[in-house]
Amino acid sequence: KNHFSDDALIKAKLLMNHILEIMKIRMIQNDWLDNKTITKSIEKLDALSSKIGYPEYIFNLTYLKHRYSGVEINEQEFFFNVVRLDRNYRRKYLEKLQKSEEKEKWSMLPQTVNAMYQFFHNDISFFMKL
């Protein structure tokens, strides 16, 4: 949040919207796609969720305390910290399997350096630090 301005976030979101609009135009102009495929593709694009910047919930201390409850962090044990965090992540993941997924949650941790499209969620995630 401190490393880029609100203006940069707005520009990134506008860029994403522009890319999606260009994709729609290109689909319509393709002569090798039939009308049914074009219609379905545009419907999927319209339903696409764009996650740009950072998830707001990372600043929610109540959420973070709940997410990492039961995880012991020791600054002298880096390896075991990773093991404990991984165990906590997997436990939370298994709990989540029994619930309906929350669309606003990001599948990557904020410190992850990545941008991706997840076809099973139909969303694009792009952290602003990239």
pLDDT of residue 124: 81
CA distance 85 to 108: 14
81-93 tens-digit pLDDT: 999 999 998 888 7
Contact present, 116 and 124 (Cβ < 8 Å): yes
Instruction: Please say if the pLDDT value at position 101 is more than 90.
Output: no
**Residue 49 β-bridge partners:** 123
Q: What is the CA radius of gyration of the chain?
A: 19
Instruction: Please say if the pLDDT value at position 104 is more than 80.
Output: no
pLDDT of residue 130: 46
35-68 tens-digit pLDDT: 999 999 999 999 988 888 888 888 899 988 888 8
Q: What is the mean pLDDT of the chain?
A: 84
Residue 52: in which H helix or E strand, if any? strand 49-53
Q: Give CA separation, 8 vs 26, 50, 52, 105, in Å.
A: 27, 15, 11, 22
Domain boundaries, the chain: 1-55+110-129, 56-105
CA distance 18 to 12: 10
Instruction: Please say if the pLDDT value at position 112 is more than 50.
Output: yes
